[in-house]
Amino acid sequence: MTTRVPVVERILSANDRMAEKNRELLDRTGLYSINIMASPGAGKTSLILKTLESLDGRLRLGVVEGDLASSIDADKAAAAGLPAVQINTGGECHLDAAMLSDALNSLPLSDLDLVLVENVGNLVCPANFQIGTHLNVLIASIPEGDDKPYKYPGMYRGVQVLIINKIDLLPYVPFDMDYFQRGVEVLNPGVVTFPVSCRTGEGMGDWVDWLVRKVKERRE
Amino acid sequence: MTTRVPVVERILSANDRMAEKNRELLDRTGLYSINIMASPGAGKTSLILKTLESLDGRLRLGVVEGDLASSIDADKAAAAGLPAVQINTGGECHLDAAMLSDALNSLPLSDLDLVLVENVGNLVCPANFQIGTHLNVLIASIPEGDDKPYKYPGMYRGVQVLIINKIDLLPYVPFDMDYFQRGVEVLNPGVVTFPVSCRTGEGMGDWVDWLVRKVKERRE
């Protein structure tokens, strides 16, 4: 008589395996890392640059910029004094773990506390690919409108932090914050939320204070 | 002696074949159709609603709305009195020709002059899939920033009309129109461009006059 032994296997895709390797590398180096996702033009690069300014030296940042084409964002980060790598995905609509692996190899990891990864501007595809970072951050933007959680549920579900950017434009565009927040709450109850304006700096203090605590907590 | 005859074959993907069928159906019914693409929140639905208002009865519109989830946009179009079909793509980041085929079957085609198709909000994937419409329109949005042509060249290359929306926000956000236009000109020289505000109605007259001419030209 033979006994059937159930074998439960977690099959990892090639991308997930590479994401795990990225995480191991980041953990080994004592680094914290964030995957920043948003629509085109919601303020990913602006958030990175304003975070640098608001941190005022409290954390050492490195930046990975993802775009289909151009080095506009990495050039901006480098001009602000940050170690920065640009990934051009060609036609791909998201970063993947192999791209991040290449980029991490080009950064001076042991001199950094935090790596900010700017994904391709897209509210769909980046949500489906883990890249190995510790935290997923979504930037919503006021002029995008208040219905985005209802239309892009996968993205709103998969993040731990929601930054609501361009609150300085609230007087000039129709945006029902209650309707927006209700949509978020259904998908991602209790997600940590920071309303900010990367342009005026409003709200940035709360975000960077939270970030500094998060990086320190991981080290204790 | 045998003679080799060169055989040049155009291999169509299943999607392209379906797109050709959609085009044949639209042409047979005497309909003109537009594929509207843009980032999330750039104003695709607003353009449709404001076009309806500005046309003031000169063309009979039908609407196909594409989103990952929700029927928010089709509900808005229906509330404005338009025959409207909502496509929910699930996780897909773009419409395809089969989705449009299903949607066309649900519209009263013989009662219409023009079908406006709102693609999924995304500056990457929709550019890679023909769906059978006559015209590709891209909506750029002022608060998205002036660097989008440089970062999303595939999308900017593949359209015949560029609508620059939310020009009412120009006083409140940084946007260098010359830099933007230079980026567009390199990728898509002479693309027909309409600066508008779907909120205030500014510029809508030129757009709908052009549209009416375009639909009439096709019939002559």
Q: Does the beta carbon of B90 lie under 8 angstroms from any beta carbon of chain A? A: no
Note whether B118 contacts A: Cβ–Cβ < 8 A.
no
In order of A187, A218, B81, B133, B210, the CA distances from B114 in angstroms are: 36, 57, 15, 10, 13
Closest residue to A145, CB basis, from B41, B128, B147? B41
Whether residues A125 and B153 touch (CB distance < 8 A) is answered with: no
The helix (H) or strand (E) run that includes residue B99 is helix B97-105
* Residue B66: its H or E element: strand B61-67
Q: Name residue A118's amino acid.
A: E
Listed range (A205-209, B89-93, B114-118, B173-177) with the worst mean pLDDT:
B89-93
Per-residue pLDDT band for A9 (boundaries 50, 70, 90) equals low
The domain B15-219 is placed in CATH, from the list 3.40.630.10, 3.20.20.70, 3.40.50.300, 3.50.50.60, at 3.40.50.300
Query: For chain A, which residues make up each domain, given as ranges?
Result: 14-219
Q: Which of A1-5, A43-47, B142-146 has the weakest average pLDDT?
A: A1-5
Per-residue model confidence as pLDDT tens digits over A137-178: 999 999 999 999 999 999 999 999 999 999 999 999 999 999
State residue A8's pLDDT score.
Answer: 63
Fold of the A14-219 domain = Rossmann fold (3.40.50)
User: Residue A64 has which token pair?
Assistant: 């990975």
Q: What is the pLDDT of residues B51-91, one digit of tens each?
A: 999 999 999 999 999 999 999 999 999 999 999 999 999 98
B173 touching A (Cβ < 8 Å): yes
pLDDT at A41 over 80: yes
Contacts of A129 (CB under 8 A, 6+ apart): A15, A94, A95, A96, A97
Comparing CB atoms, the residue among B69, B122, B143 nearest residue A122 is B122
Burial of A2 (0-12, 13-18, 19+ CB in 10 A): exposed
Is A141 in contact with B172 (Cβ distance < 8 A)? no
Minimum CA–CA partner of B87 in chain A: A151
CA gap A178, B178 in Å, rounded: 37
pLDDT of residue A10: 62
pLDDT range class, residue A12, cuts 50, 70, 90:
confident
Q: Does B121 touch chain A (CB under 8 A)?
A: yes
Summarised one tens digit per residue, pLDDT across range B148-167 is 999 999 999 999 999 999 99
The per-residue pLDDT of chain B, averaged, comes to 95
Cβ-based contacts of A68 with chain B (< 8 Å): 124, 151-154
pLDDT of residue B47: 98
| Burial environment of residue B119 by CB neighbours within 10 A (0 to 12, 13 to 18, 19 or more) | buried
B54 touches chain A (CB under 8 A): no
